[in-house]
Structure formats: structure tokens, C-alpha cells
Amino acid sequence: MAFGRLERTKGSEPMSDINVTPLVDVMLVLLVIFIITAPLLASAIRLDLPKTDAAQPGDPPKFVTVVVDKAGQAFFNDKPVAQPELAAELLAAAKANPETEVQLRADQGVPYGRVVEVMGAAQKAGLNRIGFVAEAPSADAAPAPTPAASN
């Protein structure tokens, strides 16, 4: 009986290339999906609408600016006005477009009552959309101290 060595076959080397076939397959499937869905997303019903002068595109809602400075003086679109003039200007703006927005800018030193008077004048004129304009705090500003609660 002869004892001999069994010859071992060397295994295959590890593959060092990236197999791109699955990647290409996925990309082709995505391409087909986009080709099919793109017309559906962009499609609209094509109509040949009749022409008329009565159909005008609506104007986007306008806005007016009302500013109240530290002294309590009101400004309508950067023009100083007294309280009766402010009411008249707001009424004219409401008649021109009832959806006009009032952008209210008030100094932080203005008494709350004065701000409420301006808001009341706007609502009395028929302008119910009031936006309060404020500035974002600067990055280098320290946060304001909060008052301590007392018992």
C-alpha cells in the first residue's frame, strides 16, 4: 500500500473587480420608470379656451405698510399720517382690494394701546389680514434676561 500525498488544488482567487451588472440593471429600471411617469406628472388637460376680455387674471393680494415709531407717530407706506388720515388711507386700500394685507411694524417701545388703535383702524376699514413684522435676533446679541419670578 502506497501512501501518497493528495494533491491539493488551489482555490480561486478573490475577485477584486466590482460587478456593475446589478447597478446597470437598477439604473435601467429607474430610467424606464421615469420615462413612463414623467409625462403623467407634467400632463394637463389640453383645452382650446375661448377668448374674452372679461376674464382677466386676478391680481395677487397687495400689502400696505403701517409703521408706528417710538414716539407713536404712524406712517402709511413710509408717509407720516395722523390718525384720521391713516383711517382714510386704510379705507381707500380696502376699497381697492379687500384682501389687502396690513404689514404692521411697531417699535418695541410703543405702548400696546397705540398698536391696538392702529389695528382697530385697519379692522374698521375692512382689512382683516394683519401681519406683524419683527426682526430676527442677531447672532452676536446676548439673549435678553428673563425677570425672576417672585412669590
Q: Considering only CA atoms, which of 69, 74, 80 is closest in space to residue 117? A: 74
* Tens-digit pLDDT profile for residues 109-139: 889 899 999 999 999 999 999 988 888 776 6
DSSP string computed for 51-100: P-SS--PPPPP-EEEEEE-TT--EEETTEEE-HHHHHHHHHHHHHH-TTP
Kindly report, residue by residue over 14-31, the tens digit of the pLDDT: 777 888 899 999 999 999
Between 101 and 145, whose confidence is greater?
Answer: 101
